[in-house]
Amino acid sequence: MGDREADQLLVERVQAGDKQAYGLLVNKYQRKLLRLVSRLVRDSAEAEDVVQDAFIKAYRALPGFRGESAFYTWLYRIGVNTAKNWLVASGRRAPTSTALDNEDAENYEDGDRLRDMDTPERVLMSKQLAQTVNAAMERLPEELRTAITLREIDGMAYEEIAEVMACPIGTVRSRIFRAREAIARDLRPLLDTAPDRRW
């Protein structure tokens, strides 16, 4: 049984009144949703509040969920919309970060070997690259930043991103392409690549 089918069974249990089944869905997707929302909402405490609000909204809307899309796609859309509404209400612009999650690195099986390979030059270059990517993403319009985050950081398929962003798949492809081009422009000087090449 795949993730989508397992989620659908949990959704059906919630719709039948099993509140513990919703807790399982929250546990499964809380970190992923927080990672997504944190790219839109700068403050970690506020991001956690937005995620909690998104889960509450999803729970209230769950009786109407028909399973036409994957649960997590539906949940991501609610999360993105909740974050956008929060940003509008607080009069802020959505920031982005691509910093690695330290906990993920610590839990990685070969993490010790990866850390051993870090030379001072590599560490400096990694930091410069990360800062350049973060700055480039910060300057992207919200639609481009959301599309590239969902694709490159959350690993979502184009079809899923189209559902989350409520736009045609062609628009998603265009936004991702434009975001990659903007980031590549800023990375070229660091990577010493020709202007006609992305990396």
Q: Hey, where are the domains in the chain? A: 1-95, 112-190
pLDDT in tens, 120-131: 555 566 677 778
The CATH number that domain 1-95 falls under is: 1.10.1740.10
Sign of CA dihedral 78, 84, 90, 92: positive
Task: State residue 134's pLDDT score.
Answer: 80
Q: Tell whether domain 112-190 is in CATH 3.40.50.720.
A: no
**Residue 58 reports pLDDT greater than 80:** yes
- Is residue 146 scored above 80 in pLDDT? yes
pTM of the model: 0.54
Burial 37-72 (b: 16+ CB within 10 A, else e): bbbbbeeeebbeebbebbbebbeeebeebeeebbbb
Intra-chain end-to-end CA distance of the chain, in Å: 39
